[in-house]
Amino acid sequence: MSEPAPNPYAAPGEADPPKARGTTLVESRMLRFVFFGLLYLAQGIPWGFLAGGYRVFLIDRGLSNEALGAVMQVAYLPWSFKVFFGPLLDRYRGGRFGRRRPFIVLAEILMGVPLLALAAVDPARLGLVNVLLFLHNTFAALQDVAVDGLAVDILPEHETGRANSIMWAGKVVGVMIGGAGAVLAKHVGWQATFVAMTLPVWLIMLVPLLVRERPRGEDTRLAQEGKRLNVPELVRTLRFWPALSGFLLGFVMPAGFALVGTFTTRLYRKDLALSEEALYLLTVIDTPAGVVGALVGGALADRMGTRKTMAMSMTLIGVVMATFASLSDLWPRYALLVVYGATLQIAICSYSASALKFFMRLSNPALGATQFTAYMAMTNLCYSFTARYGGWMADTFGYQRAFFIASVVQVVVIPLLLLCDPRKAEAHFRAEENVAAAPQM
């Protein structure tokens, strides 16, 4: 085994605790948690708008499940561009403003511009609306890469479970805010709604503007001494089977619940005739359930190990979807939709929080954002791919069979987790003392 490359950007480890009242991210644990939680909140707002308000907008214009899925496929596609953004950002060693903050701030500025442009566009011009949302999601993906790269840079291993829980909980809250788009548009119009989606993203931008990654002198030193993307290290990583198989897992693990995402909204809106308010109430109820799921998933990942937590969560997801499919006669009952949505959200967010830690542990710290964000890009590519085929499945086989098929898909991929052991990745990429401190599977 070759010598693991050190990560000069890392925060102090468990044996060297940070200062209690530090004013930078590497000095303050609490500041790290708040910082990443708020930035994931900013990511969740546009994602929630796409998953909620924009889908309702398209459904009300008569799109079929497959057509709706095709539109969502294009909207989600920019998130797979993260596989290219990671190496680009890792070429930058940093400066007075830090290594990741310039990209975070730039991306958040650019995220807001297409949303404001949408306020001046006729919503009936779907082609132009799709182009602007495509641009918005491209910049949102860039922000995501910069935030994840910063997390990989500075989070000590013993903090990743709790931090991932907080990050995913923040995204869930952001999704709830973004999901209000359809209700807001019903009262103030779509143009004003796009402006309202922009404001919180730009307000949260103040956080990376005001909070430094590390003390000023250290930022300057790392700008001169820090490492760019290490190509030999990248080759070494890609030749390591557990790390390489992580790309397959990133693509297939969310496939089951991703298949049902798009057509579930159309089922509720078109077939069950739910109002904008009734749809949004489901999102509001799902939010605390998702926060609980993320926190529980992170805690279980720390205690039991990431693979066991992911397998348990994925099994629960499959059982919940299969149970819902078997109760199709009761779908018009709103109480069933509440219970189904909340339970599914707990399971999905538990999976997501533990998966974040899983992929962070598979990643080589010497590659910064490159490897981890490539894993996340594969997950986002899964969402884009399944959006269309989930819609086709619902149109072809009907909703009940589509839910059953998705539940089976979700469960049958679980054994693939055996391909990747995070302990082996840490032994391969990190120093032995760091491996000894890692929780056992």
Q: Give Cα separations from 56 to 50, 137, 401 (angstroms).
A: 9, 18, 23
Q: What confidence score (pLDDT) does residue 438 get?
A: 47
* pLDDT tens, position by position, 156-209: 877 877 887 888 788 888 888 888 888 888 888 878 888 888 888 898 889 888
State the DSSP string of 370-419.
HHHHHHHHHHHHHHHHHHHHHHHHHHHH-HHHHHHHHHHHHHHTGGGGGG
pLDDT band at 320 (very low <50, low <70, confident <90, very high): very high
Q: What is the DSSP letter of 271?
A: I
Predicted pLDDT of residue 178: 85
Mean of the per-residue pLDDT values of the chain: 83
CA 309 to chain centre: 17
Residue 113's nearest CA partner among 91, 137, 147, 89 is: 137
- Class of the CATH-defined domain 29-436: mainly alpha
This prediction has a pTM of 0.78
The arithmetic mean of pLDDT across residues 223-248, rounded, is: 73
Residues 387, 392, 395, 400, Cα dihedral to 10°: -70
- Among 85-99, 214-228, 406-420, the minimum mean pLDDT is found in 214-228
Sketch the domain layout of the chain as residue ranges: 29-436
Q: What is the pLDDT of residues 254-298, one digit of tens each?
A: 999 999 988 999 999 999 999 989 998 998 898 889 889 988 998
pLDDT by residue (tens digit) across 27-36?
888 888 999 9
Distance CA 141, CA 147 (A): 10
Count the helices and strands in the chain (H runs, E runs).
21, 0
Burial environment of residue 110 by CB neighbours within 10 A (0 to 12, 13 to 18, 19 or more): middle
- Give the number of other Cβ atoms within 10 Å of residue 96's Cβ: 10
Query: Rounded to an integer, what distance in angstroms lies between the CA atom of residue 175 and that of residue 261?
Result: 14
